[in-house]
Structure 1
Amino acid sequence: MIRYSDVAVGTDLPSQTFELSRTDLVRYAGASGDFNPIHWSQETAVGVGLPDVIAHGMLTMAMVARVATDWVGNPGAVLDYGVRFTRPIVVSFGSAARLEVGGVVRSLSEDDGTAEIGLTATMDDRTVLAKARIVVRLER
């Protein structure tokens, strides 16, 4: 677990790349109960104006949060998390979508031992989440 005393504003978190396939979307649908066909049926997705099947928003958020939870060493350290969706992650048949995620410590609170982390999430060099931030409690 990361100690508060070892972190400074501007600390970069190790970036991660996540690959998402249609199989991953079906697995997530089964685990979450979200069987909306835009996440598995190309015909439905295109029919409602999407370019192809898209990843679940909550799956995207979970993958992005992993950069912070892996860094801090404890998923239970998350106190607050929010994003704004700007672009869907399109998952075409036969190929994996690559989500690139990074983070940087924006602020620290000595009072409660927390760090606010700004997160970046891109696919094909295009932002998929805006205003992505997570607050984690660090070890004292």
Structure 2
Amino acid sequence: MTAEIPQRQFTVTRADLVRYAGASGDFNPIHWNDRAARALGLPGVIAHGMYTMAVAARTLTDWAGDPAAVSEYAVKFSSLVEVPDDDTGTTLTVSAKVTKELDDGRVQVDLTVTVDGEKVLNRARALVRPPV
């Protein structure tokens, strides 16, 4: 079985990163301070990897209708998500496809997560209980 899940786009702004830092306790300055990020050789402020992963997972939880429907989720981080210091931010585009049905009723979903056409997550895959 192969079924497309509707593509989603999510805007990520500096304000989102500050809120995530507060919720997660990850106040590393590379996620909010250009000087600190550039001092470490980064192009500028970058999104938290776990934030990027969580935003992409919203495609699954919204589709399934229940966050608990996602029972497994793994990714390999492949590119940084630079977040400019403006009111626009950056856009994550998430495409997802059901690629396999499991005997227990769950489905395997493969995700493609990009910024400006460049993959930022590789091997993004989840096991999800599909909507009824």
- TM-score, reference length from structure 2: 0.95
CA–CA distance in structure 2, aligned partners of residues 69 and 56 of structure 1? 20
In the alignment, which of 88, 111, 117 is matched to residue 125 of structure 1?
A: 117
- TM-score, reference length from structure 1: 0.90
User: 1:42 matched to which residue of 2?
Assistant: 34
Q: Which runs of 5+ in 2 are unaligned?
A: none
User: 1:116 matched to which residue of 2?
Assistant: 108
Pick the structure with greater CA Rg: 1
- Confirm or deny that 1:136 pairs with 2:128: yes
Counterpart of 1:40, as a letter, is: W
CA–CA distance in structure 1, aligned partners of residues 93 and 123 of structure 2? 16
- Confirm or deny that 1:27 pairs with 2:19: yes
Percentage identity across aligned positions? 47
- Which whole-Å deviations, capped at 9, do the CAs of 1:21-53 have from their partners, x for residues lacking one? 111100110011100010001001011011010
Runs of 4+ in structure 1 over 6 Å off: none
CA–CA distance in structure 1, aligned partners of residues 110 and 121 of structure 2? 11
